[in-house]
Chains A and B, each alone.
Chain A
Amino acid sequence: MSQFGKVWVRLSENPKRGDLVEVRAMVMHPMESGFRLDNVGHPFPRHIVTAFACAYGGSEVFRVKLYPAISTNPYFVFYVVATESADLLFTWTDDRGEVATHNVHLNVA
Chain B
Amino acid sequence: MRPAAATPEELAAALRETFGDRPISPGRIKLEIPRLAENGNIVPVAIAVDSPMTAEDYVQSIHLFAERNPLPRILEVELGPHNGRARVGTRIRLAVSQQVRAVAVMSDGTLWSTAADVEVTVGGCDP
Contact = CB atoms under 8 A, between A and B. Distances in A.
Contacts of B43: 71
A43 B2 contact: yes
Contacts of B94: 69
Contact of B91 (A33, A56, A71, A78): A71
A10 to B, nearest CB: 13
The secondary structure that dominates the A interface is strand
A104 interface: no
A56 B55 CA distance: 17
Contact of A62 (B1, B42, B46, B77): B77
Contact of A56 (B82, B85, B87, B92): B82
B2 to A, nearest CB: 6
A56 B2 CA distance: 41
B12 interface: no
Interface in B49-89: 66, 69-71, 73-80, 82-85, 87-89
Interface residues on A, range: 20 to 34
B91 to A, nearest CB: 4
A109 interface: no
A8 interface: no
B89 A70 contact: no
Contacts of B75: 64-67, 69-70
9 contacts: A61-B83, A64-B78, A65-B76, A65-B77, A66-B75, A67-B74, A68-B71, A72-B127, A81-B82
A20 B86 CA distance: 11
Q: How large is the interface on B (under 10, 10 to 19, 20 to 34, 35 or more residues)?
A: 35 or more
Interface in A32-74: 33, 35-37, 43, 56, 59, 61-72, 74
B20 interface: no
A76 B80 contact: no
B93 A33 contact: yes
Given A62-B77, A64-B75, A64-B76, A35 B3 contact: yes
A70 B91 CA distance: 6
Contact of B73 (A64, A69, A74, A80): A69
B21 interface: no
